[in-house]
């Protein structure tokens, strides 16, 4: 009954009813959990047209940006995966959010953003294209920076300190704390002599390590901080075995293949039995530096999951469930067998990959889009391995 429902919008492109509902529900929830503190409020816009951009690591980042904007909502773009759910689609559409596919060029999005500018909207865009996995800056999407440059409207940078540790992308549980929303001086393209100088300045403003925020932005409370760590530490840092790291209780972290044993604290640090502190970011970097190892050398299979839910995105961008089946990544590409249906995407055919939420891998070719649910394994590992194979790296049989 609600599949086609939309709120009626005003001339500014948003529904007062949808805006009022979100102000009374999501904003109080955001305040309760993250206690966002706004610094430099004089730099925070209250109306548009303008762009608002910042670092992105947390589901709640868009809502934290909106905490102090009481007169009207921001507009912007959001990953299409959220629009496959009826209730989020209704309310996101109601305040003027439009769906987009991560990292996939979509000319129509530019037209929709230009319409938002004509409607004098504040437009939130996260130019990294997705949430950070490790708290480190990701390359900014060049087309977004060029959009900032060409539109000649104010660009408001905001640094969100404590966002990553408040709810790491890999984690099942969020952490309570106080996130700092640091609004910087607005940037005007007209103040720069050329695009490159402007773009470098925009990049510099959100280039900081979120794993080490100001002390006031460190999380204070979490019941099971290590729950979900297997998504991030997807191999044993000692042996390199995939899927070996686990947490039986959401606090202790072990490896099935070595004497690796730590306790994770609320700030996502690993504490050794002797009290020494280990960075999960350092371990992640160590894992990424390891060669890829075949799971089944004879078949040249790197990764596989049986019973994975496979979906297809149709021409109207609707998610169509297929069924559960076997998904494999080998040196030639990605294969999925679902009953009598088989999908075989060679590396050359894979144009884009993205991880939706923290466990679904979306793979886009020139003529189809498939999405596989990898819960229980690391979708991040699958994406990284596809990228490494496309870059020409050769796996090894063993370490």
DSSP 393: P
pTM of the model: 0.94
For residue 392, the model assigns a pLDDT of 97
Give the residue-averaged pLDDT of 98-106: 73
Give the residue-averaged pLDDT of 147-176: 97
Q: Kindly report the CA angle at 220 between 33 and 36, in degrees rounded to 5?
A: 40
Torsion of Cα atoms, 144 then 145 then 149 then 155, to 10°: 90
pLDDT tens, position by position, 271-284: 999 999 999 999 99
> How many whole angstroms separate alpha carbon 312 and alpha carbon 342?
12
For residue 379, the model assigns a pLDDT of 98
User: For 93-102, 149-158, 221-230, 376-385, which range has the lowest pLDDT when averaged over its residues?
Assistant: 93-102
Question: What percent of the chain stands above pLDDT 70?
Answer: 98
To the nearest whole number, what is the mean pLDDT of the chain?
95
Give the residue-averaged pLDDT of 168-190: 97
> Which of 187, 160, 161, 164 lies closest to 174, judged by CA?
164
> How many whole angstroms separate alpha carbon 40 and alpha carbon 63?
18
Distances (CA, A) of 42 to 95, 185, 287: 24, 9, 43
Contact present, 183 and 51 (Cβ < 8 Å): no
* Fold classification of 16-217 (topology level): Glycerol-3-phosphate (1)-acyltransferase (3.40.1130)
For residue 103, the model assigns a pLDDT of 62
pLDDT tens, position by position, 27-73: 999 999 999 999 999 999 999 999 999 999 999 999 999 999 999 99
pLDDT tens, position by position, 210-252: 999 999 999 999 999 999 999 999 999 999 999 999 999 999 9
> How many whole angstroms separate alpha carbon 44 and alpha carbon 187?
12
pLDDT tens, position by position, 79-90: 777 777 888 899
Instruction: Specify which residues 341 forms β-bridges with.
Output: 338
CATH of domain 297-390: 2.30.29.30
> How many whole angstroms separate alpha carbon 46 and alpha carbon 113?
18
> How many whole angstroms separate alpha carbon 45 and alpha carbon 39?
13
Q: Using pLDDT thresholds of 50, 70 and 90, give the confidence band for residue 319.
A: confident
Q: Is it the case that residue 105 has pLDDT exceeding 70? A: no
Contacts of 170 (CB under 8 A, 6+ apart): 133, 228, 229, 231, 232, 358, 380
> How many whole angstroms separate alpha carbon 341 and alpha carbon 336?
8
Q: Is it the case that residue 317 has pLDDT exceeding 90? A: no
State the number of CA atoms in the 13 A half-sphere of 19 facing the CB: 19
Give the residue-averaged pLDDT of 80-104: 83
The count of other CB atoms within 10 Å of the CB of residue 275 is 6
Contacts of 168 (CB under 8 A, 6+ apart): 57, 135, 232, 268
Q: Using pLDDT thresholds of 50, 70 and 90, give the confidence band for residue 137.
A: very high
Give the residue-averaged pLDDT of 375-381: 97
Instruction: Specify which residues 147 forms β-bridges with.
Output: none
The encoded tokens of residue 116 equal 């938002």
Question: What percent of the chain stands above pLDDT 90?
Answer: 88
Domain boundaries, the chain: 16-217, 229-288, 297-390
Q: Kindly report the CA angle at 93 between 91 and 96, in degrees rounded to 5?
A: 115
Contacts of 215 (CB under 8 A, 6+ apart): none
> Is residue 8 classed as helix, strand or coil in its secondary structure?
coil
For residue 102, the model assigns a pLDDT of 65
Q: Is it the case that residue 3 has pLDDT exceeding 90? A: no
């Amino acid at each position: 009954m609600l599949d086609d429902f939309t709120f009626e919008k005003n001339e500014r492109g948003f529904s007062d009813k949808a805006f009022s509902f979100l102000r009374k529900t999501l904003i109080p929830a955001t305040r309760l959990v993250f206690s966002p503190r706004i610094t430099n409020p004089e730099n925070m816009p209250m109306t548009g047209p303008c762009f608002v951009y910042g670092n992105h690591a947390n589901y709640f980042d868009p809502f934290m940006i909106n905490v102090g904007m009481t007169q009207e909502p921001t507009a912007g773009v959001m990953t299409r995966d959220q629009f496959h759910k009826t209730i989020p689609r209704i309310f996101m559409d109601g305040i003027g959010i439009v769906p987009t596919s991560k990292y996939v060029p979509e000319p129509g999005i530019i037209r929709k953003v230009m319409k938002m500018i004509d409607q004098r909207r504040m437009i939130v865009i996260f130019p990294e294209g997705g949430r950070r996995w490790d708290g480190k800056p990701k390359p900014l999407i060049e087309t977004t920076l060029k959009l900032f440059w060409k539109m000649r409207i104010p660009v408001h940078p905001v640094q969100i300190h404590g966002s990553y540790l408040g709810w790491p992308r890999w984690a099942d549980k969020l952490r309570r704390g106080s996130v700092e929303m640091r609004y910087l001086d607005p940037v005007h393209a007209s103040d720069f002599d050329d695009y490159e100088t402007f773009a470098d300045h925009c990049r510099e403003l959100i280039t900081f390590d979120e794993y080490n925020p100001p002390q006031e932005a460190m999380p204070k409370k979490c019941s099971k901080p290590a729950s979900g760590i297997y998504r991030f530490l997807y191999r044993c840092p000692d042996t390199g075995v995939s899927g070996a790291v686990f947490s039986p209780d959401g606090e202790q972290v072990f490896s099935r293949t070595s004497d690796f044993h730590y306790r994770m604290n609320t700030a996502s640090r690993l504490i050794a039995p002797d009290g020494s502190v280990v960075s999960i970011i350092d371990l992640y970097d160590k894992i990424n530096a390891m060669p890829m190892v075949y799971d089944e050398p004879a078949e040249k299979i790197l990764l596989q999951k049986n019973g994975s839910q496979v979906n297809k995105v149709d021409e109207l961008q609707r998610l169509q469930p297929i069924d559960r089946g076997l998904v494999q990544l080998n040196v030639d590409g990605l294969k999925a067998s679902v009953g009598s249906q088989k999908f075989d995407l060679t590396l050359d055919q894979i144009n884009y990959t993205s991880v939706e939420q923290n466990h679904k891998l979306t793979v886009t070719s020139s003529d189809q889009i498939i999405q596989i649910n990898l819960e229980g394994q690391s979708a991040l590992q699958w994406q990284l391995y596809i990228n490494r194979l496309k870059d020409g790296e050769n796996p090894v049989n063993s370490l």
